[in-house]
Structure 1
C-alpha cells in the first residue's frame, strides 16, 4: 500500500475516494466489452433466480414476507407482491439458492445475486430508471469485486462467506446509483453497508448460504435508502453516525490491500473475469464433473465394474467440497465426490442430479464411497484428473486442463442463453433469448416492468 493511500485509509477518507470513482464510472458509458459482460452476468443471474423462484425454499420466504404489511413490488417470478426490502431479499436468495450463479474465480465471489436483488427491489418500486439498470448492476458488481480483491485471500480463508460480506456493498452501490446518488450519498451508502456485513462458510450446504446473498441485497438497498434520507433531512451524518461505520477493510481481514480497491477503477474491470457455471454446485468441483462426463461418454465403464476412483484435484476442493456422504441436494452441491458420481452415472450434472432423491440414491451413494479425493498443489482450481480403476485391472484416465465455464474455456453467449432457457422453461412465458433481448435493450427504451410481468406466471399467494 502506498504511503499516501495508507494515510487516507487511516482517516477513512478512502470511502469518499471509492465513491468518487464509482460515480465517475457511472457518469460514462460502459466500455463495450464491460457492457457485454454485464449483459451476460445479468441475464445469467436472472435466469438462475427465475429458475428457483417456484421452489419450496423460496415459497417459505414468500409466506414469511406476506405476514408483513403489504407492498407493491412483485416477487421474482411470481404474482405475490411485497415491500422492496423483502423483494430484494427473495430475489437475492433465489439467485443463489441452486449455486448456479456467476463466480469471480480470484475471490470466489458470486457478484450477480446481491446486485440482482437490489435491482429487483429498486426497479420494482419506481420508474424512469430502466436505462440505468445495466450500468448500475455492472458497477455494483465491480465495487464488490474490488472490495473482494482487497481482502483476498485472508478473508475467505478465515471462514467468511465473501459473497455476503462484500455483496452488501455491491447492492448498496447498485441501489444508490439507481437513485442517481451524489458522490456523498454513495459514500454514506457504502459506509452503512459496511456495518451490515454477514456470512460464514459454516452455512455452506444449507439454506443459510443463499440467505447471505438475499440479506446482502436487502441490507444494501436499505443502506442506500437510509443514506439518501439522512442527507436529504440532516445534510450529513452525525458524529455518532460516523463512529458507527466500521471500515470494512480493517474489520474483515488483517492482510488487506486497499490498492486493489482503488487503483485503475473504471479502467481495469474485474467484471471481465466473471464466469458462469454449467453445473449447479461449487465451482471447484466442475473440472472433476467434466472429467467424469468425458469418461462416461468416451469409455465403456459400468458403475458395478469400478473398484476405485482416484480424484486428483486442487486442495481447495477438499476444503470447500469435502462432504463425502451428502443427504440432501443442498449438501450435494458441496460434495465433489457426488458431482463425479452423477457425472459418471448420468453423463450429465444438471439440477436433477442435485436434488434430494439423487443425493440419497443407493447407486449414487455406492459409487461415491469408491471415490478418493487426492489433493495436488500443482493443479489449478479449474483442473482435475480421474483415474478409474476397474475390477478387471483396466484403468481409465480422464484429465481436464480447463473446466467448462472457466476463463480459459468460457461459456459462449449461445451456451449461456441455452442454460437460461432451460432454467426459465417451467415458467412457460419467457425464454432465454427473450431475457437477453429485453436486458440488452433497456438503454434503448425497454421496460423492466415488462420483464417482471412476463415472468410472473400464475403462482398465487395460497400456493407460496
Structure 2
C-alpha cells in the first residue's frame, strides 16, 4: 500500500502542483516497489542501454564525449558504452545523448515522449555518488515515471502540438522528482528542484532530424542532476513554477489545469503499471511504428513490391504525426522523422532496422521515387488510443489486380507496446543486434541476463558496472 499524503484528493485544488508532487516524492517509500515494477525497471535499463549502444557509433556520440571530457569534476559516474568515469552531470549528458541518438529508446504514451533515456542516465549517475541500491534506483524511476505520465496526461497533446519536445521538457521535471526521491529530499528541497528543472526545460521539435534532438535528452538528464544538486545546497526556486500565473503550464502548455491529473497521486495504481513502457522494435520515430507494422504485414501477406504500388495512403489517429516533419528526407537522421521514408523502407526492404537510417539508404533512387506516392493524414477525434491504417493502391496487373484495387491494414495494438509486450528474450535479442551494429564484441546474452537479474539489495553502480564491464 502507498502511504496516504498529508491531504485528501478533495483538497487538491487548493494545493499547488509543486507541493503535491513534493509530498508524493517525500512520502512514497522505496520498499513499496513490487516485483513487477522492479522487473519493468530492469527491462527499461536493458532497453535504454541497448539504444545507447546503437547510438554510440553515430558521429554525435564522439562529439558529446569530447565535450563531456572537458568538464572538470570528480570522475564518479560511468559512461555506459565505454566504462570511462566522468562527473555525474557529464556522464548523464553522454549517456542520455547516445541513448537517444538511434531513436530506439522506449516511449510512454501519456508523455508523447521517451522517459527512460532521461530518468535512467540521471539516476545511474546519482546512484554512483550516493551508493544507492538497485531497489532505490528503480523506486526512484517509478516516481519519475509517475510525475512524467501524470503531467503528460494533463498537457502533452497541446504542449507537443506547440512544438515542444516533451522528452526534454517533461522529462527534466520527472527526472528531478526521481533524483529527489533517490536522495530522500524533503518537501522544500523537492519544490526548489522542480522549479530549477522548469528553469531548464527548453527542448524543441525544431531540432528533430539533427544531432540536437538527442542532445535535448542528455541535457534533460544532466539538468535534473543540476537542479537536484543546487536545491540540496539550499538554492531556491519559485514554489509555483509549474502551475502559477507565470509558470510552466501557462507559458508552455496553454494553461491546462494540473490539479485533476495530480489529485490522486499516491492513492491509485502507479503509472509504471497503468501506462507502462512501450519498447521500440524499429529505430525511428514512434509515430511511424503502427504504420510500419501494417505495411510489413501487407507486404508479407500479399507479396507486394515497390513496382506494384500506385499509391500508399496512411491515416492515423489525431495528433499522431506531429513529430514527422520530413516528407522528403535527405539524410538518415531526417529519415527517422518521415512517414514517407518509413513506408518506403518497409515496402522495399521488408524490414526497418538500424541499417535503414544511413544517408545512402535514404538517397537510394528507388526510395526517392516512392516518396511522392505516400500521402499522410490525421483523423479527427481523440488522440488516444493511437491507431494507424495503411492502404496500398495497386497498379493494374499487379498480382492479377485491376487498376485502383487496394489492400489495407489497421493496427491499433502495437507489438512491443505495454499492451503487447515483447518477452525478455526478444529484448535481449534487440540488445545483441545493437551490439553487432556498433561493432562491439560484448556478449549480449550475458549482459541482458545480467541486467534482468540485478539483485534489489546490491549497490546499483557496482552491480551495473560489473555486468557491463566485468573485472578480469
TM-score, length-normalised on structure 2? Answer: 0.86
Q: Is the contact made by 1:194 and 1:245 (CA closer than 8 Å) also made in structure 2?
A: yes
CA distance in 2, matches of 1:83, 1:127: 15
> What per-residue deviation string (whole Å, max 9, x for no partner) do you get for residues 92-120 of structure 1?
11122222111111331211111112023
Distance 1:42 1:128, change over 3 A: closer
Does residue 444 (structure 1) correspond to residue 457 (structure 2)? The answer is yes
* Alignment: residue pair count: 444
User: Which range moves more in the overlay, 402-411 or 149-158?
Assistant: 402-411
Does residue 144 (structure 1) correspond to residue 157 (structure 2)? The answer is no
List runs of 5+ in structure 1 lacking aligned partners.
Answer: 232-236, 458-464
> What per-residue deviation string (whole Å, max 9, x for no partner) do you get for residues 158-178 of structure 1?
221111111111221222233
- Residue of structure 2 aligned with 1:306, choices 300, 304, 309: 309
RMSD: 2.6
User: Which range moves more in the overlay, 221-230 or 102-111?
Assistant: 102-111
Does residue 397 (structure 1) correspond to residue 389 (structure 2)? The answer is no
Q: Is the contact made by 1:18 and 1:262 (CA closer than 8 Å) also made in structure 2?
A: no
CA distance in 1, matches of 2:290, 2:159: 25
SS of the residue corresponding to residue 107 of structure 2 reads: strand
Q: Is the contact made by 1:341 and 1:367 (CA closer than 8 Å) also made in structure 2?
A: yes
Question: How far 1:217 moved relative to its partner?
Answer: 0.5
> What per-residue deviation string (whole Å, max 9, x for no partner) do you get for residues 133-182 of structure 1?
11112212222222222323322222211111111112212222332323
Q: Which residue of 2 aligns with 1:417?
A: 428
TM-score, length-normalised on structure 1? Answer: 0.87
SS of the residue corresponding to residue 316 of structure 1 reads: coil
Q: Is the contact made by 1:41 and 1:102 (CA closer than 8 Å) also made in structure 2?
A: yes
- Residue of structure 2 aligned with 1:435, choices 448, 454, 457: 448
Does residue 199 (structure 1) correspond to residue 203 (structure 2)? The answer is yes
- Aligned pairs for 1:63-212 (under 5 A) are 63-69=66-72, 71-72=74-75, 73-212=77-216
Distance 1:289 1:189, change over 3 A: same
CA distance in 1, matches of 2:421, 2:317: 20
Q: Which residue of 1 aligns with 2:363?
A: 360
Q: Which residue of 2 aligns with 1:252?
A: 252
Q: Which residue of 1 aligns with 2:380?
A: 377
- Aligned pairs for 1:236-247 (under 5 A) are 237=236, 241-242=237-238, 245=241, 247=247
Does residue 275 (structure 1) correspond to residue 282 (structure 2)? The answer is no
Question: How far 1:128 moved relative to its partner?
Answer: 4.5
Distance 1:216 1:129, change over 3 A: same
Distance 1:322 1:203, change over 3 A: closer
- Residue of structure 2 aligned with 1:338, choices 338, 341, 348: 341
Q: Is the contact made by 1:100 and 1:277 (CA closer than 8 Å) also made in structure 2?
A: yes
Distance 1:31 1:345, change over 3 A: same
List runs of 5+ in structure 2 lacking aligned partners.
Answer: 1-8
Q: Is the contact made by 1:172 and 1:193 (CA closer than 8 Å) also made in structure 2?
A: yes
Q: Is the contact made by 1:87 and 1:120 (CA closer than 8 Å) also made in structure 2?
A: no
Q: Is the contact made by 2:133 and 2:458 (CA closer than 8 Å) also made in structure 1?
A: no
- Residue of structure 2 aligned with 1:29, choices 28, 32, 40: 32
User: Which range moves more in the overlay, 322-331 or 334-343?
Assistant: 322-331
CA distance in 1, matches of 2:142, 2:376: 37
CA distance in 2, matches of 1:355, 1:77: 21
